Structure 1
Amino acid sequence: MPRFFLGLGAAVLAAFGAAGAWSQSNTARMPREIRFGAVDMVIQRVELEVSRAEIHAAVQAQLDRETMCFPWPSVWLDPAERRRVFVVRFDLMTRDWGVETAEAARTRMQEFVAMGLVTQRAMPRVGADAVEFRLTPLGDAHLQGSLSSGRLSFCMPSGRRVQEITETEFGDFACGTLKVRFTHVADAWPNWARTEFAQTRIAETWAPLGSSAPGSVSMSRQWFSDDPPDGRGNGELRSLCYDSRERAVSGDDMELAAATP
């Protein structure tokens, strides 16, 4: 039987009453605690027999979740709030914060327009230099944060693929029991990287188009007693950093190093 190094959620369910989907892996075995509904979730050690193909697919799935975030500048928003619509008062920003601050924010918002994340139109009835920015479907899908927190960012998918798995190592790591080192590459710019600014940032952060760069991630298996959240497969390999004080998963440890010049 495989060993388990973490069990969460002691809510007891009826025996045999959950665990709908089994892992697609040929080597994984669903934990007894999940099969009998004793716990809500278990993080399981990766078995030594795991296939190279499953590792590759799991790293690619983790890479698909990797994002590059573009924070919004500090802007003066008109108080009339509507979903997906933001009216920025550049006139009031210029008056109270200065021309330089207002123009820097305008440049950033124009970059979002060029990336296809928002559209813009002048709103002269609101103010002398008021501009409406309306989220596009692409921008709406990738906007994170809230006005109440004062932090908004567009976090865009990497659009990169795993080129090669270069090394695997079993052990106890920060966010898993299988450490994978790999190379990654992009064959084309992501659909949001339409500007020189965005393409330059990708090239400097990850790698120029067509060039490979190194990456690493540690993973374990995660099982759920009910349908897994966010469409994932039950028993799927994922990078899972566990916070013992909060008794919750707090992120992952995927690292994508920039290509060596």
Structure 2
Amino acid sequence: MLRIATANAASGRSPSPASGHAKDPGDWALDDWAHDAAALDLDLLAVQEVDHLLPRSGHADQTATVAHALAAGGDPWHARFAAAVHGTPGNAATMRPAPATVGEEPSYGVALLSRHPVEQWDEHRMAPSAVRIPVRNPSWTDEERVVVADEQRVALAARVLAPGGPVTVVTTHLSFVPWRAGAQLRGLVAWARALPRPLVLLGDLNLPASVASRLTGWTRVPTGPTYPAQRPVARLDHVLLDGCTAEEAGTVRLAGADHLAVRATVRW
């Protein structure tokens, strides 16, 4: 059994009071977010939109910050950050695809944190969409629509030595361009064929649940919508299972994020 959750941390940015989405650089609330995550009493946490040593978040190692909160003074957690891009995402002057995770390189990506030991880590990178696309949060005003360029994406896998036996856990954050997110998910499934089962996929897939389960062939864990957090209307954050089952699933608000977290208890 594993108590798991997936959550988009928005790099520690607090939502704008007016619209509910994280857009105000300089308003950082990762400590509060990590405190809320620790209160869930998890065995494993997958996090998307993680900053690593970036100037905009005070050069902090956000994965280490969350790991410290989850440990709560007890045994250290096993944690790994995987870089999707080096530099600040959305900044044309600094952002570039990350061919690998480099510990001292300011980067942006995803993280996995486990209470139990991890036997093996693996990373898989996925090319971005070649087109720029307008992005609009359902709670934004018309003036808040922005046109943005996509970035490279990354998946991080961990073979967790859980008390009930080993389990593979994968997290990712797919493209906001729907057709590219679908192609990335199909590529991830092909890459994951070599990973041992049972397997759990956790992440912000930027796809509806029915599409995600159809493209993977894996079982989706049913929950409500997750985005935007204040008035959720879309379910972008998912738990998908191959070779295991889930119970006690639901969503929860974590401070400073514009997505609800999804949590579940997984058995195999």
**TM-score, scaled to structure 2:** 0.24
Structure showing greater radius of gyration is 1
Q: Judging by fraction of residues, say which structure has more strand.
A: 2
